[in-house]
Every structure is written in C-alpha cells, then in structure tokens.
Amino acid sequence: MDKELFRHMFENEVKAKFGDDASFASYDYVHHRNYRDLRVGGRMLGGRPESVSQLYVIVNDLITEEEKKAVFPGAFDLGNFKQLPENLQTYKALEDEIRKESKVEAHDRLKKIKILALPLLGRSFSEFFSEDKTLTLKVLKTLYRFQTEQNKIFTLLAPPRISKKPSYEVRDCYGIEGSTEEVLLISDLKSHASFEMPRERLAFINSTYGKMRGLLDNVDWKLSQEAGVECGGSLQRFTQIVHHLATRIQSVLHVEVQEPVRLPIDEQLYTYLNRMELDHHTEGNLQLLSKVTEHEPPFGEVRDLIAELAKYIKLPLSTPQHLLIEAETCESQFRDSANSFKWFYSKLLDREIDNNTFEKALPLFGKLCKVLNFAEFKKHISMSLALGAMALVLSELHKSTPYQPYWYGKGTISGGLQEYLNAVRFEHWNLDAPEGSHRYWTGRVDYFSYTMLGQGNVFKGRVHLSNTINQSFMKILDTQDLELIDNKLTLFEAIFGSVEQ
C-alpha cells in the first residue's frame, strides 16, 4: 500500500467536502456523526470480502502516532492500543474520564448499557471484565458514545428474531449511495469495534461471513433450478429430489449442540454485528419467500397458448425461456403487437383485457422489465420473464397482492406493485425502494413465468431448501467457532457447488 498516496486521497476528499481546516487524521473525522457518511466509505483492497474497512486502514496504517493521540485522546478510547495502568482499570475511572470530557455523570447510563448490551454480547460485562479489564472498559465507552448519539441504538441492534422486523437494508453499506442514517450507524459501530482486532483475524471473519452471505443469498435458487432440470418435467420426481437434497444438507451441516466459543469482547461485538446482518437476511427470506408463493397465479401451464401466440407475433416461442429480448424495448414490442397480446392475456386470465387496461399496464410493464435486468447489468431478459411480468401487472391492476417489508429509517410505501414501480429510481443501485419490495416483485414475476411453463413448483421447492439451509447454518453460527463455520462452508460448496458454479 502506498500510504502517502492514500493519505493524500483521503485528505483531499475531506477538504473538498468540509473545507481546508478539515482532516481525515482528526478526532472529528473518526468520531463525529457529520463525517459518518464519508468515513464509512468504500472497502479497501478492491472490496473483496476478506478486506477490512476504510476506517480500520486509516486508524491502523495511515495516521501517525502523533495524529493517533489527537484522534484517541482518552485513556479509554478503543483504538489507542494502550493498556490501562492497573489503577485506571475500574468503572469509576471510566466515569471520571467521561465527566471530564463531556461534563455529565455517566454512572446510570453505563449501568443501563451493560444490561442492554447483554443480547448482543451473550455474556455479562462482569465476565468480560474478569478476562480483560482494559478492553472491556474501552468497548463500554464505545457503546456509551454511540448510545449517547442514538438513544435507541439497542432497539436498532435487536436480533430480528426478537424484533420481528427483518430488513435487507441492514448490512455493510460501504459504497452504497443513499444509505439510511441507521444503517450507516451500524456500519460505523462495526468499524469502531474492529480497531484493535488483529488484521489476520478480522480478515478471516470478513471472508467467512462474506462467503456465508453470498451463499445464503442464492444457493437455494441454484439448487432448486438444478432439481427442476434433473426431474425432466416430472413433479413427483422434482419433489423427491428436493426432499433428498434437504436431507443431505441437514446431514452435511449437522453440528452437535455446544457452548458458544468465548471471544474477546471487541470480537464478540464485531461478530454479533456480522451475525445480525445474516439474521436480518434469513428472517427476511423466511417471510418473503412464503409471501411470494402465498397467492397462486390465476392460471396454470399454458405452453400451448404461448405456442399459439408465437404464430401471431411471428416469434419462435417453443422455448420462451431461451428467447431473449432487450428490456428497454419490451414496452414498445408489446405495444406494436397489442392486439395479439390482448388476445393472449384475455385467454390466460379468463377475462377481457380491453384497450384501456392494456394501455394502463404498458408503462408499468416497461418499468418492471427494466427493474428485472437492472441489478444484473444485462440488456436482455427472457421472453418467458416478459410474459410473466405483463401477467403480473395485469393481475395486480385487477386485484392487488401487496407486500410491505420493514425498511430501516425510511417511510414505507403501501406495498402495491404500482406504488413500488412509481417509487423506483434508477439513479441509485438500490432503486430508492426497499430491497424487500424488489425481491418480492421480481420473485412474483419469476413465479408467474415458471407457472406458465408448468414449473411453478420450483418456487415451492426453493422455499423448502431455503428454510433448510438457513436453519442449518444458523445453528452453526450459534457456535461462534469461526474455523467450524469456514469448514462447513467449504464442505457445503464441495458437495453442492458454489453459487458461481
């Protein structure tokens, strides 16, 4: 790493936003909320899962020892890397430092934090204190500072299994434009918790949990698709394959019940924040996938009807899942053959689709097609997906099946497809809409498309596989045994393949 180059880059970035007196090597940059959006920033080392945060690199590599004294002036500041003298290894000494810095009595708040942090840390402060007094007091001061700024931070950090409010937005928000203040706060706390952790250990944690996130995000869909291909169109065979896969997954990922590994308090907090992200993801999936399949499409397999449509629009639709069309042109292509598509959807939905209904649906359909390929950075979508997208739009105009996910720090939308599409903006990668909404509506399009081809049960198989995989990995994560977690991930990928394969 060229330290001078990075110092120059960060310094210019800070001064451009906050003026010539601002500096990245300052107390305000590392601690003040006004700088949070800037300091959370992008990951170092190309953004790989095994990398560490921008702030960790600044604190550990870029600032000088003299600058570090200004950034971490307190004896109890996590990041000064100093061992407290024995006479300062007391809660009373921490209270005295806070009183000197902020002119407030912190005794009651510190006492409350020690109670509120128990679900995060899994063990009492007294246990951690008996193992490492200095580190325990530093982490307590860090939690105090964040809780002083955001009074409800422990509500925000509650496990989603308890809060019942899973949100896909709870994740590392490095480089995510438009991240909410709450999500930035979580990422910031995570970076601060890591300051004094050994780099190799931190990179191992990031790599392992990064692989876990990638696997949980897609492997259920990958395995269900493979089962759909292997079954040769037989629903009975597909069900057998899925149940066989689920049984094998449970066997491969089985672990004996054991006490969680006892971690240093800073690593325990950092691990919890990683685990919390996965919990939000898995709890969100459990809710969302069941919602996607809750309302059956108002039709079954219609391959013959699709073949008849192909004659009218002069396209080879014997395998519509293989015919690709540009997402940008979906709306115009359907408008150019409006009469044929109105006939098709009238037959499909068993009700007349008149001119007004079709014209109302077209712009919504066009935007939905752009959403479908936006995250994939591809120009094309399959014709079967386009057919499913229009079927969904017309069905929602007739009878809405809303889904309203929890969205940290943002006002919620009504949950209907029209409201979702009206809220979508393509300027940001998150489309300025809840990720839960995006996953729900794109999932519904997939469900409709597969049902048209007689493969709707692929989704139901996915739900079963998703639940099995999530529950099995959550039991492994409960052990906090990083080597065990990494070994199980490696074994799983060796047997079932990685998401990329």
Q: Is residue 353 part of a domain?
A: yes
- pLDDT of 138 > 60? The answer is yes
> Is 217 a member of any domain?
yes
- Give me the pLDDT at residue 409, please: 58
User: Residue holding tokens 């870029």?
Assistant: 62
- pLDDT for 284: 87
Residue 178 lies in a domain: yes
Is residue 228 assigned to a domain? yes
**Is the model's pLDDT at 24 over the cut of 50?**
yes
Tell me the two tokens of residue 298. 């108002």
Which of 10-14, 134-138, 224-228, 472-476 is predicted least confidently? 224-228
Query: Which of 142, 157, 191 is at the close of a domain?
Result: 191
Q: Say if 32 falls within a structural domain.
A: yes
Structural domain boundaries, residue 469? 199-281+459-496
Contact yes or no for 497/222 (Cβ under 8 A): yes
Residues 317 and 452 in one domain: yes
For residues 277 and 411, membership in a common domain is answered with no
Q: What token pair was written down for 222?
A: 């990958």
Q: What is the average per-residue pLDDT within 214-228?
A: 85
Domain count, the chain: 3
Whether residue 8 sits in one domain with residue 157: yes
The structure tokens listed for 8 are: 């120059």
Residue 21, exposed/middle/buried by CB under 10 A (0-12, 13-18, 19+)? exposed
Q: How many CB atoms lie within 10 A of CB 324?
A: 14
Of 171, 191, 211, the residue that ends a domain is 191
Average pLDDT estimate for 160-178 = 70
The answer to whether residue 296 is domain-embedded is no
Give yes or no: residues 253 and 347 share one domain: no
Same-domain check for residues 155 and 208: no
Tell whether the model's pLDDT for residue 311 goes beyond 90. Answer: no
Q: Is residue 28 part of a domain?
A: yes
Would you say residue 229 has pLDDT above 80? yes
Confidence (pLDDT) at 499: 65
* Mean pLDDT across the chain: 89
Residue 148: pLDDT band (50, 70, 90) is very high
pLDDT confidence of residue 413: 67
Residues listed for the chain: 501
Q: Select the more confidently predicted residue: 373 or 71.
A: 71
* The pLDDT value given to residue 46: 37
**In this model, does residue 501 exceed pLDDT 60?**
no
Q: Is the pLDDT of residue 160 over 80?
A: yes
Closest by CA position to 330, among listed 360, 369, 361: 369
pLDDT bracket for residue 164 (50, 70, 90): confident
Overall average pLDDT of the 207-225 stretch: 86
CA 310 to chain centre: 40
Are 182 and 134 members of one domain? yes
- Give, in order, the Cα–Cα distances in Å from 76 to each of 57, 72, 249, 381: 21, 9, 46, 56
Nearest to 478 by CA among 45, 122, 25, 72: 122
Taking the alpha carbons at both ends of the chain, their separation in whole angstroms is 33
Give tens-digit pLDDT for 27-78.
Answer: 999 999 999 988 886 544 434 445 788 899 999 999 999 999 999 999 999 9
- 158's tokens: 């509650």
Range with lowest mean pLDDT among 84-88, 394-398, 496-500: 496-500
pLDDT of residue 163: 80
Specify the range with the lowest mean pLDDT, choosing from 15-24, 125-134, 140-149, 405-414.
405-414
**Model confidence, pTM:** 0.87
pLDDT, position 49: 47
Residue 180 lies in a domain: yes
- The Cβ-side half-sphere exposure at 203, using a 13 Å CA radius, reads 10
Whole-angstrom CA distances from 107 to 72, 73, 129, 258 are 22, 21, 17, 36
User: What is Dmax (Cα atoms) for the chain?
Assistant: 87
**Residues above pLDDT 70, as percent of the chain:** 92
Whether residue 71 is found in the same domain as residue 172: yes
425 and 328 in a single domain? The answer is: yes
Q: What is the pLDDT of residue 301?
A: 92
Over residues 328-347, the mean pLDDT reads: 95
Cα gap 35→140, rounded to integer Å: 22
Q: Is the pLDDT of residue 317 over 70?
A: no
Last residue of a domain, one of 191, 215, 238: 191
Residue 361 shares a structural domain with residue 347: yes
